[in-house]
Structure 1
Amino acid sequence: MNRLRLSIFLLAMTGPPQAARAQDTAPLESSLPGRVEAALRQAEAVVSLQADFVQDKIAPFLRKPLRSTGRVEVKGPCIRWTVEAPRPSVLLVSRQDIRVYYPEQSRMEIYEPDGALAGFASSPLPRMARLREQFDLRLDGEAWRDGFALQLIPRADALRKHLSWVRVEVSDSDGIARRIVWADPDGERTEITLSGIRVNPDISDRRFTLAPPEGTTVVRPLRRDP
């Protein structure tokens, strides 16, 4: 699994992305900044979160979207994505690393985030200042009845090689994303929709530890030996 793609996946799940036309967007600083900041301030009060998710991957080579469903849990700096169908897997993000466990294959992949993307991987609710470091932020002109949509365009060439744009639909009521969409330069698009959101539930810390069961093959695909 590509580390950059994985980090982008995590970023999208946590907060802000369909591409909007240039004339349909307005710079964030000049369009409803008070509304945006008020909603995101509410999100800062979120210390834990649970929700169901549906992810659809749309690509030119796929006859129909590839759908997966599961549950996401957030607590502090940690986030856990548990995919239940069509094939089970667990993606766990902490400050230390990113772990992906495939029980059917008895395989665990461990990634060590670094650089600018490490901040996204370790923060379920990225701050606006951090997003501005890596993206041009705009309000998407396409109406969304329950809040507003942010469009993120990557600034760095290294990021643009893997990501064309991100769109996030954010609720006015709590500042939490309900739908995230992003696309890559190859024409693949990923759409994630959250439902059944519970804010500040009591989640055990054990949910955010992922030790490989005995017999599991553990690999570090991006590790560089000295």
Structure 2
Amino acid sequence: MPTYLKGAMISALFSISTALHASAVDRLSDLLTRHDGIQADFEQYTVSEEGGRQEHSSGEFVLERPARFDWHTELPFEQRIVSDGEYIWIYDPDLEQVTRKSADNQVGSAPAMILSGNIEALEEQFDVRQIDDAPDREVFELVPQEADSGFVRIRLLFSGELLTELLLEDSLGQRTSIMLDDIKVDPAVDESRFNFVPPDGVDVILDPGA
């Protein structure tokens, strides 16, 4: 094949790939940002290489975009992670301990970027592909652009245009599935949920830089 034809073919393939990426990013952005808030129950599993469920936790969360949330793990051990947009508070009742860190420390957290709908940050760090676009099911795959990101891939499953599952595979081969249920969009939420006040008698640890 003549060199000029090879060059033209490579250029065409690159253009198609770029167009598909842009289309996938636009669609993912539409799905993640069409609602200002979301409330749901969650179950989180560590998934073995054979696909079996191992470590398990469950609870419920509410999120108000762009940066406020209350993630409440109920089982097997209670924990609350609350963000008021400025600080993130991690409360472990069993340890009688609260850790406060700057919300800016969560900017690089892929699950936080996904749930908050921060599509610009996602596009900067991941190549986005849509790998399933059935009428009632859409699946996106996010592959990190940097090898040291900690993740190999992330898959997002939407059912009825609602995010219902996140599957994260890290660089050590461990896979984590976060499944969402009883999803409510734009719920009426008491503002006090995002204003965490440490209970009396607990140890408060200030994370460096917070």
| TM-score category of the 2 structures, normalised to the smaller one | 0.7 to 0.9
Mark the structure with the bigger radius of gyration: 2
- Two-structure CA RMSD over aligned residues (Å): 3.2
- Structure 1 residue runs of 5 or longer lacking an equivalent are 1-25
Question: Secondary structure in 2 aligned to 1:201?
Answer: coil
Identity %: 21
Question: Structure 1 residue 147 and structure 2 residue 133: aligned?
Answer: no
Q: Is the 8 A contact 1:154 1:163 kept in 2?
A: yes
Q: Which residue of 2 aligns with 1:133?
A: 124
Query: 1:133 offset after TM fit, Å?
Result: 0.5
Greater displacement, 196-205 / 36-45:
36-45
Moved over 4 A (4+): 118-123
Q: Normalized against structure 1, the TM-score is what?
A: 0.71
Pick 1 or 2: higher relative contact order, CA cutoff 8 A, min separation 6: 1
Structure with the higher fraction of residues in strand conformation: 2
| Shift in alpha-carbon separation, 1:220–1:158, aligned structure 2, 3 A | farther
Q: Which residue of 2 aligns with 1:17?
A: none
- Structure 2 residue runs of 5 or longer lacking an equivalent are 1-15
Q: Is the 8 A contact 2:20 2:129 kept in 1?
A: no
Q: Is the 8 A contact 1:170 1:179 kept in 2?
A: yes
Q: Deviations over 1:11-33 (max 9, x none)?
A: xxxxxxxxxxxxxxx95832893
Question: Secondary structure in 2 aligned to 1:187?
Answer: coil
The one of 156, 168, 179 aligned to 1:182? 168
Q: Which residue of 2 aligns with 1:93?
A: 83
The one of 87, 94, 112 aligned to 1:104? 94
The one of 171, 177, 181 aligned to 1:195? 181
- State how 1:4-153 maps to structure 2 within 5 Å: 27=17, 29-30=19-20, 33=23, 37=26, 40-41=29-30, 43-58=32-47, 65-76=54-65, 77-112=67-102, 113-114=104-105, 117=108, 121=112, 124-141=115-132, 146-153=136-143
Q: How many aligned positions are there?
A: 191
| Cα distance in 1 between the residues matched to 2:170 and 2:32 | 27
